[in-house]
Amino acid sequence: MRKACQWRRLALYPSLLASSAQFLYKLRCVSAACISRFWRRRRRRDGALIGKSLTVCALEDPMSNITGGELIARCLANENVRFVFGLPCPEVDPLLARLEQYEIRFFPIRHEAAGAHMAEGLYKATGKVAAVLGNPGPGSANLLAGVITARHEGVPVIVLTAQHRLGAVYPSPPSTFQGQDQLDVFKPTVKWSAPILSWDRIPEVLRLAFREMWTGRPGPVHLEVPAPVMYATGDEASVKVLPPSSYRATAGPQASEAQLGEAAELLTRAERPLVISGAGVDRGNANAALLRVVEMLNCPVAATMAGRSSVPLDHPNSLYGYSPGADAARKESDVILAVGTRLGNLDVPYDKYWGDSARQKLIQIDIDPRNIGVTRPLALGIISDANAALEGLTRVLKSKGARAKDGKDLARYHEIERRWREERFATAANWRGPGIHPAHAMQAIARVFGRDAVYVTDGGMTSLWAHFFLPATAPRSYHNILELGMLGTGIPSAIGAKLGDPAREVVCVSGDGAAGFHFMEMQSAAREKLKLVTIVFAEGSWTMEEPNERMLFGRTFGTEMGPVRWDRAGEGLGCQPFYAENLEQVEPALEHARAAKGPAVVCLRTDRDANLTIPMDLMRRFAEVYQGPMGG
């Protein structure tokens, strides 16, 4: 009787009741009959939503019944999900307990948003999809920043939020602890959102989620699983987990032959064709196919900022997109082929940079219809998988006898760009200190880690210097956040990239403001013994905000962060620390960090005045992203 009373008191805490059932049973603190009586009562209260034919605790007939958590794990493994990022809690324990059985690695994090950024880095580096967990209330709220970023970046993620017992949610009364309507909170941030309210519908709802996730431009989808459904059990033979190819299309939309013919005709007749390559080329693994088109036409190609690794910067046909050489190519081009880019504001899509839209013909290929013709008038819009469209275009161009251009215009554009670089970056080239110039630090990073590393950039000015001076990279090897502009993604995204491809070197290059958001995840890297390098450009200021404040108000406010020895902070988290305060120390520090056996943190004491020497025409162009076209 005393033990039964203890069990009844435990029932006052619904989130603990289910998770404690097996544990107490094994310790013989209560009998199976006592547990079953309590679950029968709870089914009478919640059974209409769970399914009255199901048991709720995995104590009866364990040979044929599996929990909702295990069934979710099976569905995730069926879609080749190999990582789950999150934190444990009783509401998801049945899932966590079975992940290893299905070869899925649970990676605990320090903040839920960082888990979503890890999933982002994993996908950008490898194309693999991960799941992230949000525990009821604050855990799910913490996830939102990472999920919103994934939506803007086109990153597919399975977002699983846990929920309390059904008697306290949908709707949640004011008395509910950690209660919130998470479905309504997440709906605007994801492509699709739904609850799973019965065990037998788990495979079906997971199929709906994955289908929505991959339709058009990929993105996050949200599933909410209340604890009683996670703990519910049913006969595994009564449900089917179908292979992906049997319930959704595994290939994207395809261009028609008529569209390919029209595009090839425009490009074949063009006097000055130009190709613009966006991040969709990288995500679609269309890099080689795009370069075949470029080389067949011998035309210039310019990558967008977001698509930096879609085209090698040192390819003989490549132009730096923000340079006057690329401006000249855009203005003079009669036919532009834009692939995997929405030509957003970061591409400053104004006539002053692109030429007369009445004369210029734009062919735009994108997987998302909403990205077509948004900022520039179209001659031809093609909704298609980038790789399939480019391979088809190559075939049709060959059949039409497309001829390569003589390269004179391309040589002229390169010369314009070369002179511009020499003039605009002369201050950086001639900098002699004191302190470390960010451009010099980036060049040292390039020398030490080379073009084969995965680079993850984070911050304001630091990201700009990285964009200018880090080396050309392989495909899917230069990560940034250039739609939402979220700070703090760098460190967790680098961890995700390393988990996805352990054999590759991963380097996170971050400003100190951005590093502060999720620096604790370096402890996660140390705990998991991940070999990656985080380099923090440390000057103790929100430097990007200073010019506007000084210009308009004659002073700064809120920009001072104060000095931080990030190497020492990293050491406290289990990382190997390295520090440099002058240029002579930078390369040795980087070499030692590269040789470290585990995660390393390099703190570079960069100079604030040097950081502000980004050429004014580039800063003005960046201002035009927000303000619209300025001047002529």
When the pLDDT of each residue in the chain is averaged and rounded to a whole number, the result is 89
- For residues 276-294, average pLDDT: 97
- For residues 149-165, average pLDDT: 95
| Whether 408 and 465 share a structural domain | no
Q: Is residue 265 part of a domain?
A: yes
Closest CA to 457 of 418, 410, 494, 425: 494
pLDDT at position 290 over 90? yes
Structure-derived torsion over alpha carbons of residues 523, 527, 528, 529, reported in degrees to the nearest 10: 90
| Whether 262 and 381 share a structural domain | yes
pLDDT of residue 176: 80
| Whether 32 and 71 share a structural domain | no
| Whether 548 and 458 share a structural domain | yes
Residue 299 or residue 429, greater confidence = 299
Q: Which residues share a beta bridge with 106?
A: 84
Q: Is residue 619 part of a domain?
A: no
Q: Which residues share a beta bridge with 318?
A: 301
Q: Is residue 632 part of a domain?
A: no
| Whether 43 and 143 share a structural domain | no
| Whether 609 and 517 share a structural domain | yes
pLDDT per position as a tens digit, 309-347 = 999 999 999 999 999 999 999 999 999 999 999 999 888
Residue 483: pLDDT band (50, 70, 90) is: confident
pLDDT of residue 619: 84
Q: Is residue 423 part of a domain?
A: no
Q: Is residue 438 part of a domain?
A: yes
Is beta strand 273-277 parallel, antiparallel or unpaired with respect to 335-339? parallel
pLDDT at position 105 over 80? yes
Question: Are the C-beta atoms of 62 and 31 separated by less than 8 Å?
Answer: no
| Whether 316 and 185 share a structural domain | no
Least confident of 24-33, 131-140, 284-293: 24-33
Q: Is residue 401 part of a domain?
A: yes
Residue 592: pLDDT band (50, 70, 90) is: very high
pLDDT at position 33 over 50? no
Q: Is residue 620 part of a domain?
A: no
pLDDT of residue 166: 79
CATH, residue 609: 3.40.50.970
Structure-derived torsion over alpha carbons of residues 211, 217, 220, 224, reported in degrees to the nearest 10: -30
Q: Which of 417, 445, 474 is the last residue of a domain?
A: 417
- For residues 410-416, average pLDDT: 98
Residue 175: pLDDT band (50, 70, 90) is: confident
User: The domain containing residue 331 runs over which residues?
Assistant: 257-417
Give the count of domains, the chain. 4
Residue 618: pLDDT band (50, 70, 90) is: confident
pLDDT of residue 632: 58
Least confident of 69-83, 145-159, 165-179, 493-507: 165-179
Dihedral sign from CA coordinates of 275, 213, 370, 626:
negative
- What lies within 8 Å, CB to CB, of 369 at 6+ separation is 216, 383
Residues of the chain above pLDDT 90, percent: 77
Taking residue 518's Cβ as centre, other Cβ atoms within 10 Å add up to 27
pLDDT per position as a tens digit, 120-132 = 999 999 999 999 9
Residues of the chain above pLDDT 70, percent: 90
Q: Is residue 196 part of a domain?
A: yes
| Whether 446 and 490 share a structural domain | yes
| Whether 465 and 368 share a structural domain | no
- Helices 408-424 and 324-332: crossing angle, nearest 10°? 150
Residue 41: pLDDT band (50, 70, 90) is: low
pLDDT of residue 432: 83
Residue 157 or residue 344, greater confidence = 157
Q: Extract the tokens encoding 37.
A: 């009586």
pLDDT at position 14 over 50? no
Terminal Cα distance for the chain, rounded: 87
pLDDT at position 591 over 80? yes
- For residues 241-249, average pLDDT: 94
Q: Is the peptide bond before 577 cis (omega within 30 degrees of 0)?
A: no
Q: Which of 221, 246, 271 is the last residue of a domain?
A: 246
> What backbone phi and psi angles, to 5 degrees, belong to 301?
-135, 135
- For residues 160-174, average pLDDT: 84
Closest CA to 83 of 113, 109, 48, 110: 109
| Whether 45 and 72 share a structural domain | no
Token pair 């905000």 is found at 545
- For residues 556-570, average pLDDT: 94
Residue 53: pLDDT band (50, 70, 90) is: very low
| Whether 210 and 273 share a structural domain | no
Taking residue 428's Cβ as centre, other Cβ atoms within 10 Å add up to 20
| Whether 194 and 227 share a structural domain | yes
pLDDT per position as a tens digit, 185-194 = 999 999 999 9
